[in-house]
Structure 1
Amino acid sequence: MKNIITISREFGSGGRTIGKLVAQKLGYEFYDSEIVNQVAQRSGFSPEFIQENGEYATAKSSLLYALATANQYSLGGVSTLDKLYLEQTKIIKEIADRGKCVIVGRCADYVLRERTDCLHVYICADEKYRAERIVQVYGESDKKPEKRIHEKDQKRKVYYRNYTGQALGQPLNYALSLNSGILGEELCAELIVQAAK
């Protein structure tokens, strides 16, 4: 039995919803925005700052950009974004040490990659499905939800590469890669539960 499940996902694919379903079915704790709150309490960063920067990055948040514009660096030589990542990493490891949990996003698959009690899952879907879903679930009123999807995905990919040195969504990094647009959220959750057993 895998006591820890990490879920990485494309924006709008339903990874958070699937994670909640898995946690309910297994009786596990669920962590997503809860990590934001814990990081805010410990670090002094605002929840809004963490939400915006704790999983998303732009090219301007890369190490080369930070070196060229030393204003991101504190006196200790560590950028604010790096401090945020390090604090999130500590909290993810502490959560995992307690066991029986589902953790969504925040490079948790990478942070916990050496643990044998983890099941790492990637959730994806085609752009049409994701666009329709964010309009329905998030009330996306923009006439171009595809643009928001592209921006969010790109920022997640940059963030993931910055902190892991790997590309987000690479199949060999996950025990399961599931297409929620084809399988649906309920079946994805059930497949994850079965794989965890």
Structure 2
Amino acid sequence: MEKFVINIGRQLGSGGKSVGEAIARRLGIRVYDKELINFAAEQSGLCPEIFEKADEKEARSLFATLFGYLRLPFAGEDAGCTNVLSSEALFKIQSDVIRDLAARESCVFVGRCADYILREHPHAVNIFVTAPDADRIARLRDRCGCSEEEARALMERGDARRRDYYNYYSSRTWGVASTYHLTVDSSVLGIEGTADFILDFAARKLDMKF
């Protein structure tokens, strides 16, 4: 079977990560989300904290970017954790990790502009998972143990951060149906049912049997 990738964009609280995990479990492949931070850190020799601070956040100002490049040549041995490194440089490192993984194995990527980074991949399926605000707030409250107001604020901030990150690096529009092969509401079928639905769609698109 040809190597393939399923890229999942998602609204915060939509269950997109859980859907990705269910898909990976059914196919016996790996799902990559936060793990990409550690892989990028290992490949670059930088500490994970740098990537965590830049994770799915829009690029810093031009001043911060230039400041990071100017400081880097004069840093000491612990520079990996103390330097200001441009968000664009961190995105480039993480992009290389994503391309390398996609070239070596079939897998599921959650977020991180993977659909854009792998836009030339011959066997990629790009999905966006959404859900009504009420369902997302309920999921966030259950996950975080917070109030409805706190969950709504968390949801709005998370969506804004992901939208700004995706739009900045991809020059596409986050969450718009035309950006993806399939946009699906996880509240209709639930996590497992949504995973089944996406797998059926992916099998048809890729002309593969899973």
CA–CA distance in structure 2, aligned partners of residues 167 and 184 of structure 1: 26
Question: 1:101: which partner in 2?
Answer: 107
Deviations 1:36-83 (A, max 9, x none): 1111222344433323322123xxx35xxx23556644138x952111
Larger RCO of the pair (alpha carbons < 8 Å, separation 6+): 1
1:67 aligns with 2:68: no
Post-superposition shift, 1:33? 1.5
Following TM superposition, the consecutive aligned residue runs of length 4 or more in structure 1 with deviations greater than 6 angstroms are: none
**Contact 2:137-2:151 at 8 Å conserved across structures:** yes
The runs of 5 or more residues in structure 2 that have no matched partner are 73-83, 204-210
Aligned residues: 191
Report the secondary structure of 2:8's partner residue: strand
Question: 1:26: which partner in 2?
Answer: 27
- Whichever residue aligns with residue 21 of structure 1, its letter is A
Q: Return the index of the structure with the highest Cα Rg.
A: 2
Report the secondary structure of 1:48's partner residue: helix
Report the secondary structure of 2:125's partner residue: strand
Post-superposition shift, 1:170? 2.0
Deviations 1:152-187 (A, max 9, x none): 110111111110111101212211111112221111
TM-score normalised by length of structure 2? 0.82
- Whichever residue aligns with residue 57 of structure 2, its letter is Y
Question: 2:96: which partner in 1?
Answer: 90
Deviations 1:94-119 (A, max 9, x none): 11101310011100011111222011
Question: 1:158: which partner in 2?
Answer: 164
Change (3 A) 1:47 1:176: same
1:170 aligns with 2:176: yes
Report the secondary structure of 1:8's partner residue: strand
Question: 1:149: which partner in 2?
Answer: 155
CA–CA distance in structure 1, aligned partners of residues 67 and 195 of structure 2: 40
Post-superposition shift, 1:89? 0.4
Question: 2:77: which partner in 1?
Answer: none
Report the secondary structure of 1:7's partner residue: strand
- Whichever residue aligns with residue 32 of structure 1, its letter is D
Aligned pairs (5 A) from 1:101-120: 101-120=107-126
Question: 2:197: which partner in 1?
Answer: 191
Picking from 110, 131, 142, the partner of 1:136 is 142
**Contact 2:14-2:129 at 8 Å conserved across structures:** yes
- Whichever residue aligns with residue 13 of structure 2, its letter is G
- Whichever residue aligns with residue 95 of structure 1, its letter is L
CA–CA distance in structure 2, aligned partners of residues 40 and 79 of structure 1: 13
Change (3 A) 1:142 1:170: closer
Deviations 1:104-142 (A, max 9, x none): 110001111122201111001111111110111233457
Question: 2:79: which partner in 1?
Answer: none
TM-score normalised by length of structure 1? 0.87
- Whichever residue aligns with residue 167 of structure 1, its letter is T
In percent, how many aligned pairs have the same letter?
33
CA–CA distance in structure 1, aligned partners of residues 25 and 11 of structure 2: 22
Post-superposition shift, 1:91? 0.4
Change (3 A) 1:29 1:120: same
